[in-house]
Chain A
Amino acid sequence: MAIVINGTDHPIPNDPRMSLLDLLRERVGLTGTKLGCNQGACGACTVLLDGERVLSCLTLAVQASGRQVRTIEGLAGEGLAGEGLAGEEGPLHPLQQAFIDHDGFQCGYCTPGQICSALGMLEELRRGEPSHVTADLSAGRTALTREELRERMSGNLCRCGGHNGIVDAILEYAEKGGAA
């Protein structure tokens, strides 16, 4: 068994203590995913595991065996691998571009987690999942208001206070029908 990271197989570490975050950063060299609190409080280490947003700091790498991990490095040039434009050489993912257009960051440390989290969040919304601020639990669909977005993204802290730009970027991407 291997861990599939951005489409490439990687061996499972021998030491089960290694977190998925450390595997990504220290072994695979994918340093886009950030180490923040290392205790599940900040969201900087958010990645997509089989499409679901999770915290890589609290996931043991061995638990990702046989599963698909997607990190910020796997977003640019998405779907263009056949044209030699995959990964960092490809054009930015439209949500990455929206973060630039709306100044969705200052220092940028939380940004990879914010972007991966937003992609997972939009999938949850597409599936009709409610949130803490959803008034009607029986509704099959919930509109992505600013209030809904802020609640759904509350697991990603931004200490620069870049939240307004982050919200604007995600809203614009979602309104354009952005595919996760």
Chain B
Amino acid sequence: MIPFSYSLAANEQDALARGANGTARYLAGGTNLVDLMRQDIERADALVDISRLPATIEETAGGGLVVGAAVRNAALAADPRVRARYPMLSRALLAAASAQIRNMATVGGNILQRTRCSYFYDVAGSRCNKRSPGAGCDAIGGFTRYHAILGASDRCAATHPSDMCVALVALDAIVHLEGATGRRSMPLADLHVLPGDTPHIETSLRPGELITGIEIPSCPAAANSTYRKVRDRSSYAFALVSVAAALKVADGKISDVRIALGGVAPKPWRAKRAEAALRGSAPGDDAFRVAADAELADAAPLEGNGFKVSLARNTIVAVLGGLAGEAA
């Protein structure tokens, strides 16, 4: 690790002032940033500790929740309101990492964590367009079991590792930001960007901008929701494929459906095509399969991850079938 200065932010304004320096980084739980700095993948002259900023979960006027960026993953998963209203979010958080890491990791940091592509981590031995723009990618053509089948480019096929974000994009979560030019908000689905020709650019954040919180709108359908994570071991592993889904059936028709996928794309993947195919139709395995196929029609698997197409399809169908229950 290169030497850096450390300061503890007293409040958001203080954090912004300290973070305005171009080579400063915000430090929250540290579960990803400290590791990446130790590996010399991330570098910073100054760390601004935002882990002690207010960590509250508050009701909005519209029946949703606003979650402070410094709220720990464990606290969000255990919140009774989240468990009752957005079980897919609790389940996504509980499927992630280990209990120790969930106690440390924050909501803001979870959103901004970097890919776990092993070539990205292999500083000494592999080329990576994320680490060194234009250097090339040794993952494509390499061991691609954990790589993307949707939204990748010929420069990068690394996946976004978050479980929490998969549930949050399904819930239309909004990110609250604060920066030098003031406050702004955007859908979480727009925060992460696809790699294209510039895989080193992963978000639409501006320099020095700070995530201050996440707003989760009211979503009655989410009371009937869940998260299924398929992985190489049953705990403490990243997803091969994950599905966050919510389903509401009224009068034999699907009145609301939310589907998002993890482990298959460079960003948390909202399955809009699948949702569109299902809305208004009768629930059932055939309909679920057609919807999943619509979402996966553009899948472009690499040599080592063709299994993810059928795995994603089968997982979508199984999750929706479970949520439909007697209605299917």
Residues in A lying within 8 Å of B, measured CB to CB = 15-17, 19, 38-40, 43, 46, 52-55, 58-60, 62-63, 65, 117, 120-121, 124, 127-132, 134, 137-138, 150-156
Rounded to whole angstroms, the CA-CA distance of A65 and B84 in the bound complex is 36
Give the docked Cα–Cα distance between A102 and B236 (Å): 25
List B residues 1-23 near A (Cβ within 8 Å): 1, 3-6, 8
Interface residue B90 (Cβ < 8 Å from any Cβ of A)? yes
B262: Cβ under 8 A from any A Cβ: no
CB distance from A58 to the nearest CB of B (A): 5
Q: Out of A39, A53, A63, A127, name the residue touching B51 (CB < 8 Å).
A: A63
Question: A58–B31 Cα gap in the complex (Å)?
Answer: 6
Measured between beta carbons, the chain A residues less than 8 angstroms from B99 are 53, 117, 120-121, 124, 152-155
Binary interface encoding of chain B residues 89-100 relative to chain A, with 1 for a CB under 8 A from any of its CBs, else 0: 011001101111
Q: Separation in Å of the B108 CB from the closest CB of chain A?
A: 15
Q: How large is the interface on B (under 10, 10 to 19, 20 to 34, 35 or more residues)?
A: 35 or more
A134 partner residues in chain B, CB cutoff 8 A: 94
6 A-B pairs closest in CB distance: A155-B98, A16-B6, A154-B235, A137-B83, A129-B78, A154-B236
Q: In the complex the two chains form, is B98's CB within 8 Å of A154's CB?
A: yes
Give the distance in Å from the alpha carbon of A40 to the alpha carbon of B97 in the complex: 10
The answer to whether B101 and A38 have CB atoms under 8 Å apart is no
List chain A residues, Cβ under 8 A from B5: 16
Binary flags per residue of B70-102, CB closer than 8 Å to A gives 1, else 0: 000010011000011001001100110111110
**Nearest chain-A residue to B97 (Cβ)?**
A155
Judging by beta carbons under 8 Å apart, are A132 and B100 in contact? Answer: no
Contact of B103 with A by CB under 8 A: yes
Chain A, Cβ-Cβ closest to B93: A132
With both beta carbons as reference points, the residue of chain B lying nearest to A59 in the complex is identified as B30
Q: How many Å lie between the Cα of A60 and that of B13 in the bound state? A: 23
- A149 → B minimal CB distance (Å): 12
Selected contact of B103 from candidates A53, A60, A154, CB within 8 Å: A53
Would A137 and B100 be within 8 Å (CB), given that A60-B34, A132-B94 are in contact?
Answer: no
A38 touching B38, Cβ below 8 Å: yes
Contacts of A130 in B (CB 8 A): 77-78, 83, 90, 94
Is the pair B30, A63 in contact by a Cβ cutoff of 8 Å? Answer: yes
Q: Which chain A residues border B31 with CB–CB below 8 Å?
A: 40, 55, 58
**Alpha-carbon distance between A46 and B35 when the two chains are bound, in angstroms:** 16
Q: Which of A15, A151, A152, A155 has the most CB of B within 10 A?
A: A155
Whether B47 sits at the interface, judged by CB under 8 Å, is yes
Pick from B8, B84, B91, B104: contact of A54, CB under 8 Å: B104
**Residues of chain B within 8 A of A152, CB atoms compared:** 99
Given contacts A16-B5, A17-B1, A58-B34, A151 and B235 within 8 Å (CB-CB)? yes
Give which listed residue, A17, A55, A131, A154, contacts B104 with CB less than 8 A. Answer: A55
Set B4, B74, B94, B236: member contacting A16, Cβ < 8 A: B4
Extra inter-chain contacts (16) besides given A40-B101, A58-B31, CB under 8 Å: A15-B3, A17-B4, A52-B74, A52-B103, A54-B103, A58-B35, A60-B34, A121-B99, A129-B77, A130-B94, A132-B91, A134-B94, A137-B87, A154-B235, A155-B99, A155-B100
Quick check: is B49 within 8 A (CB to CB) of the other chain? yes
Q: If A16-B4, A17-B1, A130-B77 touch, does A63 touch B103 (CB 8 Å cutoff)?
A: no
Indicate which residue in A53, A58, A127, A150 contacts B30 across the interface (CB closer than 8 Å): A58
Kindly identify which residue among A53, A129, A131, A151 contacts B100, using a CB–CB cutoff of 8 Å: A53
A55, A120, A153 pick with most chain B CB within 10 angstroms: A55
Tell me the complex Cα distance, A54–B73, Å.
13
Contacts of B87 in A (CB 8 A): 137
Query: Do A43 and B100 touch (CB < 8 A)?
Result: yes
Task: Provide 22 A-B residue pairs closer than 8 Å at the C-beta atoms, listed in order of the A residue.
Answer: A17-B1, A17-B3, A39-B38, A52-B74, A55-B100, A55-B101, A58-B35, A59-B104, A60-B30, A60-B34, A60-B47, A63-B27, A129-B77, A130-B77, A130-B78, A132-B95, A132-B235, A137-B91, A154-B236, A155-B101, A155-B236, A156-B98
